[in-house]
Amino acid sequence: MKTSLKYIIISLTLVLMITTGCKRFLDTQRQGAYTADNYPYPGGSGPYDQFIFAAYNDLRSYSVHVDGFVNATSIRSDDADKGSTPADGGADVAQMENFPVLPTNGRCNALWTGFYGLINKCNSALINIDTIKNITASEEIKLQSIAEVKFLRGYAYFMLVRLFGNIPIIDTIYANVKEQPFIPQSTPAQVFEFIEMELNFAANYLPPAWDKAKFPGRLTKGAANGLLAKVYLTQKKWSQAAAAAQLVMNSGQYDLSVNYSDIFSEQGENSKESLFEVQATATPSITQANGIQYASIQGVRGSGIWNNGWGWNVPSDVLEAAYEPGDPRKARTILYSSTGTVKNYSMYGEEMPVYPSQVPNPRYNHKVLGEPSLRNTISRGCWWMNVRLLRYADVVLMYAEAQNELGKSNEALNAVNSIRERARRGAAAGVLPNITTTDQAQLRNAIRQERRIEFAMEHERFFDIVRWGIAQQVMHVAGKTNYLDSRDGLLPIPQSQIDLSNKRLVQNPGY
């Protein structure tokens, strides 16, 4: 299933075997758990979960939201450096950080196969939902189940089109590899049209909310409309983006009540801030199998209690300098190592190891640091930490951006200032004052700055600077002078995939 152009149909027996083992994508003692008493379909869900859960489970895959994902969405940007030691990660990661990424890059191929693997599971689930006849369920539950899968498939294609540009749209699977025709690449416009159809279907049939005690992390109408807003924004469809974002803002399901510092903690998982999260959990006896390695590869690279991970994806000098004085978000984002003369502490009051004698980097990503009690009893790698893929603040700032582009400065100001109000709670007087300019260009820059700070180290920055058309400018300021707009806004089509297609897949420009 790691070859994007070789899909085979999965039998019902295999699907049952896989999804029974993978249903733990929602197993979590803190957030509610499926047990033998309420699985497979407690009230409000349905019998199609056995097919859906294999797709949900793939969100935790190493090739979907771990190594290649962190490299392509964050380390490639001006806000982050690779971190760790110079040789760690080899040529693949060095290319992601400093460009160009070669067609033979292993992380690049892993992203392709990972997201097409997720698509394959979605295609399999949709076929089984549609064709298995011995399942009794209402039409409402069937449509809701299809909507969950279409959301995940739409999300996978959204990631692929932003990463690679021209990609094949594969929306079915074949019983025999000999029957599968070659599927040519579609243009980004065609892929976006497909994504919009997927997410509009999901928005129509997903529920506004789930019982979070029973169904933590299940997809909602708000998640679909929020992702639609981002799809529209990426295409500069400002009116549609504002309308989709406003549906989320008017739904009554989400708000900015969660303090910024709490969003990224275990207690902040699946909160009023969350539209779409990868669900993960761990216990002392099952430390990794039900979790995700996302936090581990970014954990402090030290010894003893600070042997928490690889030390990758560290905040850059230019990100550190981008904060306004006194912004509390800086302390929650940048975890400073101690120095020979200054002791620094984590948000939990732990004294940090000394740079450079004890750790190789002066800064780490504070947003992925789990609670000390869990690090001391489960594992140092924090595999239980959820990954926030779409937050409510993102929806609000997308609304602000779209409204400003439409010339509606008052609506844009109200939205962006609501984010700043949440950020300055508890700060000293005068910190993060409201933005007041109604000049469109000035307000545009203020909204872009707010996005940068609000989502620092959260895999938004690279896609933002590319769609704004400022990537080469800001990359060169950050010292990543090999970056070229004409080449590096997209990753290369992996050479191994071109070879598997008998050279029929066409390489992106500049590679």
Helix (H, G, I), strand (E, B) or coil at 8: strand
**Cα torsion for 400, 64, 366, 361, to the nearest 10°?**
-120
Residue 504's pLDDT is what? 97
Q: Model confidence at 44, in pLDDT bands (50, 70, 90)?
A: low
Residue with tokens 């980004």: 188
Strand locations in 215-333 (E): 274-278, 312-315
Over range 46-75, report the average pLDDT.
94
Question: Encoding tokens for residue 414?
Answer: 């109200």
Structure tokens at 30: 């803190």
Region 464-476 average pLDDT: 98
> For 207-314, where are the alpha helices, taking DSSP H only?
221-234, 238-249, 260-263
pLDDT at 269 over 50: yes
The predicted structure's pLDDT at residue 326: 97
Residue 32 scores a pLDDT above 80: no
Contact 180, 198 (CB under 8 A): no
- Conformation bin of residue 252: beta by default, left when phi > 0, alpha when psi is -120 to 50: left
Q: For residue 164, what pLDDT is reported? A: 98
**Predicted confidence (pLDDT) at residue 425 exceeds the cutoff of 80:** yes
- Average pLDDT score over residue span 216-238: 97
pLDDT of residue 18: 32
Tell me: the pLDDT tens digits for 379-423? Answer: 999 999 999 999 999 999 999 999 999 999 999 999 999 999 999
Q: Give all domains of the chain, ordered by start, each with its CATH number.
A: 12-219+490-500 (1.25.40.390), 296-308+321-385 (no CATH)
Question: Is the model's pLDDT at 157 over the cut of 60?
Answer: yes
The DSSP letter of residue 167 is E
Could you give the maximum distance between any two Cα atoms of the chain, in Å?
70
User: 167 has which bridge partners?
Assistant: 186
Quick: pLDDT tens for 99-129: 999 999 999 999 999 999 999 999 999 999 9
The confidence score (pLDDT) of residue 345 equals 98
Provide mean pLDDT across the span 15-29: 31
| DSSP string across 372-403 | HHHHHHT-TT-TT--EEEEEHHHHHHHHHHHH
pLDDT band at 276 (very low <50, low <70, confident <90, very high): very high
Convert 22-83 into a string of H (helix), E (strand) and C (coil): HHHHHCECCCECCCCCCCCCCCCCCCCHHHHHHHHHHCCCHHHHCHHHHHHHHHCCCCEEEE
Arithmetic mean of pLDDT, 298-308: 95
Say if residue 356 is exposed, middle or buried (CB neighbours under 10 Å; 0-12, 13-18, 19+).
exposed
Give the tens place of pLDDT for each residue, 205-216.
Answer: 999 999 888 889
pLDDT tens sequence across 173-194? 877 766 778 999 999 999 999 9
Retrieve residue 245's tokens: 């974002």
- Tell whether the model's pLDDT for residue 360 goes beyond 60: yes
Radius of gyration of the chain (CA): 22
Residue 158: name the closest of 106, 104, 210, 194 by CA: 194
Is residue 3 very low, low, confident or very high in pLDDT (cuts 50, 70, 90)?
very low
Quote the mean pLDDT of the chain: 91
Instruction: Note the pLDDT of residue 7.
Output: 30
Give percent above pLDDT 70 in the chain: 91
Q: Tell me, what DSSP letter sits at residue 184?
A: P
Assess whether pLDDT exceeds 70 at residue 427: yes
For residue 28, pLDDT beyond 80: no
* Residue range 326-338, pLDDT digits in tens: 999 999 999 999 9
